[in-house]
Structure 1
Amino acid sequence: MAKRNPHYDVIVIGSGPGGEGAAMMAAKNRRSVAVIERYVDVGGGCTHWGTIPSKALRHAARRYSEIRREPLYQEFRKHLHLTYPEILRTADSVIARQTSLRRAYYERNHVPLIEGTARLTGPNSVEVTAPGAQAQTLTADAIILSTGSRPYRPPELDFSHPRIRDSDTILQCEEHPRSITIYGAGVIGSEYASIFSHLGIRVNLVNTQSRLLSYMDDEITEALSYHLRDRGVTIRHNEKMARVEPRDHDVVLHLESGRRIKSDYLLWANGRTGNTDSLNLAAVGLEADGRGQLKVNEHHQTEVPSIYAVGDVIGFPALASSAYDQGRFAAAHIVAGEARSLRFDLMPTGIYTIPEISSVGKTERELAETGVPYEIGHAFFKHLARAQMVREEVGMLKLIFHAETLEILGIHCFGEAASEIVHIGQTVMARGGERQLQHFIDTTFNYPTMAEAYRVAALNGMNRLV
């Protein structure tokens, strides 16, 4: 008798944040779920070569820089000379713990993890292949694609050359560079420019646009530009690559403007590509765009109703946090036929430069373009007792609010713990209603804290009203 192919209610391809969110939501609702992962362990790119290692590297670089400049540690710092590879290894323990925790989630919820590469063979079937194992076919009522993304690699660049790296392979660098050129000044490029500058590495940041992170609030990105330059980062705006000349001991970036930039390494950080090329999309009539991304509807369904897609593979906002929520949302739709709408307008952005940036809601530029009457309120960290105590005085909290209703329209924060601080305002915005600014004035905040910046900023904004 022929062996029957295993059937599940839901098959999830990819175990990153989107896949984990989908699998846990389906399993908690008593659906049979299988997760297919082609890497040797769970967690996806977020855990192994993206968010977790880069943010652990950021934390170590920041602490290293603090100790190097702190007079209290004068004797100790004479003997402190860490290299980039040594600091990279500090992320290993975090990755191991995260992987262990996530594997336990699947075990506790009886979700089998199937190792191998998945390819679609129909709207309800998947073939899984793994080295040294026989291919197997799984079927399911619904399939969720959470395959993530990888750095975009233009064909004219030789990424096999040791002097040319992307955001994945830079984490495998085995020497401490004296200089590095970063091409692309988006989130990844800006974060790595900040990290390397705090390790004493000379950084050239080449931006193809006229300003850093142009979708963010202008005042915040101007502050970031100032502090990057203050750390010695050379920023080149409105530049485009003409060609790259890798050599034995360095690499030269030739720009269309005629400028040439020589450094030990080139880090290419200009765009990402969805991991869809091995999915055999043609078998179900799906087609990815030029960046390997899939289109989905408001329920995260592709053009094939039984196949959903979440996370980086569908493009913006391409955040670990949003991917997890998208996975839960898609699974909820599978389970109940409907799902609570996600508030994408209240999804925070966190950029882990040093200092970090976080925001939620509208920018001044967006409000000015639509003619909304608004006012702003500032709280500068240098005026907060807590910031003075911990010597984190760089930064500010900026509230943008409706000049008539006092509704909070946008929150933008620059400085240490910005990605934590923003959540207070996000919660108030999600509550809805008018006179939200008054909420921060009437609330008693612990003292001294960074959170009291909301009261200071609200009072500052109220005083601006005519």
Structure 2
Amino acid sequence: MPSDKAFDTIIIGAGPAGEGAAMKLAKAGQQVAVVDALPRVGGGCTHWGTIPSKALRHSIQMLADYRRNPLFAHSSGLVDVDFPQLLQAADAVIEDQVRTRNRYYQRNRVEILSGEASFVDPHRIAVLRPDGATDQLAAEHFVIATGSRPYHPPDVDFSDPRVLDSDSILRLKHTPRSMTIYGAGVIGCEYASIMSYLDVKVNLVNTRDRLLSFLDDEITDALGYHLREQGVVIRHDENYDRVEPDGDGVVLHCHSGKKLKTEVLLWANGRSGNTDRLSLDAIGLTPNARGQLEVNESYQTALPHIYAAGDVVGPPALASASYDQGRFVGAHIADGRCDWSLIDEFPTGIYTVPEISSVGRTERELTNTQVPYEVGQAAFKSIARAQITGHTGGMLKILFHRETLEILGIHCFGEQASEIVHIGQAIMSQPGKANSIQYFAETTFNYPTMAEAYRVAALNGLNRLF
């Protein structure tokens, strides 16, 4: 066995959290290595998660716009797009992302090692390379950023080609005629929206009493309406008894006695941290039942020189938050402390059709805590830019304090929602009186733009005060 190759910090995982940590540490002058089991950088976010699903959503939106536009009414029926064709469009984006990320690592002289990492002791890992050889690497610090994968309950047979998860659906070779989606979280709602626009008959099975209950009720009610308009059948408060492949389809048996048979089943209920192959028992770390690691406010595990960030530490499990966690960890390792903290009010984006984005508190939360608030709304059907583009469905909603006029929450449903929300986020983050709904009422916006909805919503809310 050759002598260990030593680094200042070794990062396990080349997704957003690993990349954020690597860039921060490299710029601080550390010698950094990133080990990833995949042959290409980007992690699950790039190859199976955020990038392919959002590229699929963009293609679906273009298809929907084409079908709706009266200029193409004579030919819209001639357009026949299947699921594999949409996946090919996503492949091009994935390749661009991999090339871009590779340049980041090369420019910052971060060594990339392809192989499966496992701990030998608290300061050494073994890396099993694709050719079967094993290297040992040593470091002063480690960052575990191995991400997550779809949760597989032991009683569901995922080896059956008709039983899919959010990874294997990207290998689907045809457009199914019907699909049951078990789990109505972000992934489940996004794929219900995507597949319904391909004229797939979709059952969306929700284990809770409403869709995306962490969002504003009015927004999720609008989402449910649009999904049903697309033909999606939503079943609330349902739990599975068993999944039964049956001849030409799959039957989902529910506790309630319902039986839902469709051509394929997409399991979209939970994720597990990728920690089971790291030999964490060799260093005394124990993940929870979902494979996630417990960390402190500085993202340190029970071993202070070993950090964890991203999906592997649990919620919020967003690519954007994971990257920031990685940067925070990099700063903490390089300086022994970090003089900035991660924001509490981070934006959430759900890429259904139309898309959803929000930041801050909901009406339910404000009511439960007895905060005196008012609502300002702008329906997109009254916004000139939405009328021009034909994306008139949706709304912008601003929640603000009745007395101080402080902005408490921004909730948006409709085209460009995930872009529009950042305007509200920027003002919410301002200190003192700078965070005020008056800003939007008194600011000049380009016309026509979707951003103008902030002015309309602000004036609507201020007019409600007495």
TM-score by length of 1: 0.98
Per-residue Cα deviation, 1:203-235 (whole angstroms, up to 9, x for no partner) = 100000000001111111011001101111000
> Are positions 1:45 and 2:44 aligned together?
yes
Contiguous gaps of at least 5 residues in structure 2: none
Partner secondary structure for residue 52 of structure 1: helix
Partner secondary structure for residue 59 of structure 2: helix
Could you tell me which residue of structure 2 aligns to residue 418 of structure 1?
A: 417
Partner secondary structure for residue 73 of structure 2: helix
Could you tell me which residue of structure 1 aligns to residue 254 of structure 2?
A: 255
Note closer, same or farther for the CA distance 1:265–1:160 as it changes in structure 2 (3 Å cut).
Answer: same
Could you tell me which residue of structure 1 aligns to residue 71 of structure 2?
A: 72
Could you tell me which residue of structure 1 aligns to residue 444 of structure 2?
A: 444
Per-residue Cα deviation, 1:31-51 (whole angstroms, up to 9, x for no partner) = 110000111100000000111
Task: Give runs of aligned pairs for residues 318-357 of structure 1, distance below 5 A.
Answer: 318-357=317-356
Offset, 1:436: 1.1
Partner secondary structure for residue 379 of structure 1: strand
Note closer, same or farther for the CA distance 1:406–1:219 as it changes in structure 2 (3 Å cut).
Answer: same
Distance 1:391 1:4 in 2: 64
Per-residue Cα deviation, 1:311-365 (whole angstroms, up to 9, x for no partner) = 0000000000000000000000011111144344221100111111101111111
Distance 1:297 1:345 in 2: 16
Could you tell me which residue of structure 1 aligns to residue 465 of structure 2?
A: 465
Distance 1:324 1:355 in 2: 26
2:325–2:342 contact (8 Å) kept in structure 1: no
2:156–2:243 contact (8 Å) kept in structure 1: yes
Distance 2:220 2:77 in 1: 35
Distance 1:342 1:222 in 2: 34
Per-residue Cα deviation, 1:416-454 (whole angstroms, up to 9, x for no partner) = 110000000101111121261111111111111110111
Distance 1:340 1:455 in 2: 35
Offset, 1:173: 0.7
Indicate the larger mover: 245-254 or 7-16.
Answer: 245-254
Could you tell me which residue of structure 1 aligns to residue 456 of structure 2?
A: 456
Distance 1:72 1:115 in 2: 50
Distance 1:62 1:429 in 2: 30
Offset, 1:120: 1.3
> Are positions 1:165 and 2:184 aligned together?
no
> Are positions 1:109 and 2:117 aligned together?
no
Offset, 1:71: 2.3
Note closer, same or farther for the CA distance 1:24–1:343 as it changes in structure 2 (3 Å cut).
Answer: closer
Contiguous gaps of at least 5 residues in structure 1: none
Distance 1:445 1:428 in 2: 14
Offset, 1:141: 1.2
Could you tell me which residue of structure 2 aligns to residue 138 of structure 1?
A: 137
State the aligned residue count: 465
2:141–2:333 contact (8 Å) kept in structure 1: yes
Indicate the larger mover: 79-88 or 14-23.
Answer: 79-88
Could you tell me which residue of structure 2 aligns to residue 23 of structure 1?
A: 22
1:65–1:199 contact (8 Å) kept in structure 2: no
Distance 2:453 2:73 in 1: 33
Could you tell me which residue of structure 2 aligns to residue 317 of structure 1?
A: 316
Distance 1:9 1:432 in 2: 38
Offset, 1:65: 2.2
1:408–1:436 contact (8 Å) kept in structure 2: yes
Could you tell me which residue of structure 2 aligns to residue 289 of structure 1?
A: 288
Partner secondary structure for residue 451 of structure 2: coil
Offset, 1:135: 1.0
Distance 1:341 1:253 in 2: 48
Distance 2:106 2:424 in 1: 36
1:457 corresponds to which letter in structure 2?
A: A
Partner secondary structure for residue 252 of structure 1: strand
Indicate the larger mover: 220-229 or 426-435.
Answer: 426-435
Distance 1:3 1:290 in 2: 36
1:141 corresponds to which letter in structure 2?
A: E
Could you tell me which residue of structure 2 aligns to residue 274 of structure 1?
A: 273
2:122 corresponds to which letter in structure 1?
A: P
Could you tell me which residue of structure 2 aligns to residue 33 of structure 1?
A: 32
TM-score by length of 2: 0.98
Could you tell me which residue of structure 2 aligns to residue 308 of structure 1?
A: 307
Partner secondary structure for residue 432 of structure 2: coil
Partner secondary structure for residue 204 of structure 2: strand
Distance 1:119 1:343 in 2: 29
1:163–1:265 contact (8 Å) kept in structure 2: yes
Distance 1:62 1:110 in 2: 39
Could you tell me which residue of structure 2 aligns to residue 175 of structure 1?
A: 174
Partner secondary structure for residue 436 of structure 1: coil
Distance 2:387 2:18 in 1: 42
Partner secondary structure for residue 344 of structure 2: helix
Partner secondary structure for residue 75 of structure 1: coil
1:377–1:462 contact (8 Å) kept in structure 2: yes
Could you tell me which residue of structure 1 aligns to residue 90 of structure 2?
A: 91
Note closer, same or farther for the CA distance 1:342–1:352 as it changes in structure 2 (3 Å cut).
Answer: farther
Distance 1:81 1:15 in 2: 37
1:64–1:199 contact (8 Å) kept in structure 2: no
Distance 2:387 2:339 in 1: 42
Distance 1:251 1:225 in 2: 25
Offset, 1:69: 3.0
Per-residue Cα deviation, 1:368-392 (whole angstroms, up to 9, x for no partner) = 1111111110011111000000001
Could you tell me which residue of structure 2 aligns to residue 298 of structure 1?
A: 297
Partner secondary structure for residue 35 of structure 1: strand
* Identical columns (%): 58
Could you tell me which residue of structure 1 aligns to residue 185 of structure 2?
A: 186
Partner secondary structure for residue 332 of structure 1: helix
Partner secondary structure for residue 58 of structure 2: helix
Distance 1:284 1:39 in 2: 24
Task: Give runs of aligned pairs for residues 115-126 of structure 1, distance below 5 A.
Answer: 115-126=114-125
1:53 corresponds to which letter in structure 2?
A: P
Note closer, same or farther for the CA distance 1:413–1:340 as it changes in structure 2 (3 Å cut).
Answer: farther
1:329–1:340 contact (8 Å) kept in structure 2: no
1:44 corresponds to which letter in structure 2?
A: G
> Are positions 1:62 and 2:58 aligned together?
no
Offset, 1:3: 4.5
Indicate the larger mover: 130-139 or 449-458.
Answer: 130-139
Indicate the larger mover: 172-181 or 122-131.
Answer: 122-131
Indicate the larger mover: 62-71 or 51-60.
Answer: 62-71
**Cα root mean square deviation, aligned:** 1.1
2:252–2:261 contact (8 Å) kept in structure 1: yes
Could you tell me which residue of structure 2 aligns to residue 368 of structure 1?
A: 367
Offset, 1:74: 2.5
